[in-house]
Chains A and B, each alone.
Chain A
Amino acid sequence: GAGVSQSPSNKVTEKGKDVELRCDPISGHTALYWYRQSLGQGLEFLIYFQGNSAPDKSGLPSDRFSAERTGGSVSTLTIQRTQQEDSAVYLCASSRDLAYEQYFGPGTRLTVT
């Protein structure tokens, strides 16, 4: 079946602009996660959703970052007033429930110039 999909695959934006990243989880997966992988850095957790609720937003780097999920399916990660340090690959994952294996999408590579 279809895996996790993300769009766009690549995004180049100017400093100060807002960007919106999209994640389509595997159908039926209730848990959805956002991670970030910066050049030379490890993977860092940003936020996760159980259904449409986000119990843990502790990983969001600043108040410029926000995320939402509607209908228990698609999620969007929004970065306002982008900065160069926001440049990274943003990865989305989903799982059947919190206890289960996480499946990752291909990521969105964000470059802020």
Chain B
Amino acid sequence: KQEVTQIPAALSVPEGENLVLNCSFTDSAIYNLQWFRQDPGKGLTSLLLIQSSQREQTSGRLNASLDKSSGRSTLYIAASQPGDSATYLCAVKGNTDKLIFGTGTRLQVFP
């Protein structure tokens, strides 16, 4: 059974810092991995999707890497801003087509 873990559970940093959020999964037979952000009381916003054949994806200040063999993905946020404050979720898709979510990292960036 696939299990997804995210570390740390919470993170509080000053504006401008570069951040690394971690996601690990127990079954390396994944189809793809997706990173989301969730603002309080809101739905999920897709940030990046990495297919199993890819090593990384970039969008603006965000870079996500995937090491399928070791069951790990990292989300790198460069030059963090207060607007980046949210909960970040990673989710993996196996051959069953549903997403299995991690428990999230709650990020606060203060001015």
Query: CB-CB contacts of A25-38 with B at 8 A, as 1s and 0s?
Result: 00000010101000
Which applies to chain A's interface (DSSP): helix, strand, loop or mixed? Answer: strand
9 closest A-B pairs (Cβ-Cβ)?
A: A104-B44, A43-B101, A45-B98, A106-B43, A101-B49, A104-B43, A42-B103, A98-B97, A107-B43
| B24: Cβ under 8 A from any A Cβ | no
Partner of B34, one of A31, A44, A55, A102: A102
Given contacts A104-B45, A106-B43, contact A43 B89 (CB under 8 A): yes
**What's the tally of chain A residues with a CB closer than 8 Å to chain B?**
25
Q: For the complex, is A103 an interface residue (Cβ under 8 Å from B)?
A: yes
Expressed in whole angstroms, the minimum distance between the Cβ of A108 and any Cβ of chain B is 10
Query: Which of B34, B43, B49, B101 is the one whose CB lies under 8 Å from A42?
Result: B101
Residues B86-111 near A (CB distance < 8 A): 89, 91, 96-104
- Of A56, A103, A106, which contacts B97 at CB under 8 A? A56
**Distance A63 CA – B31 CA, assembled complex (angstroms):** 30
Judge if A59 is at the interface, Cβ distance under 8 Å.
yes
- A43-B89, A101-B49 known; A56-B43 Cβ under 8 A: no
Contacts of A103 in B (CB 8 A): 46
Most buried by B among A33, A43, A103: A43
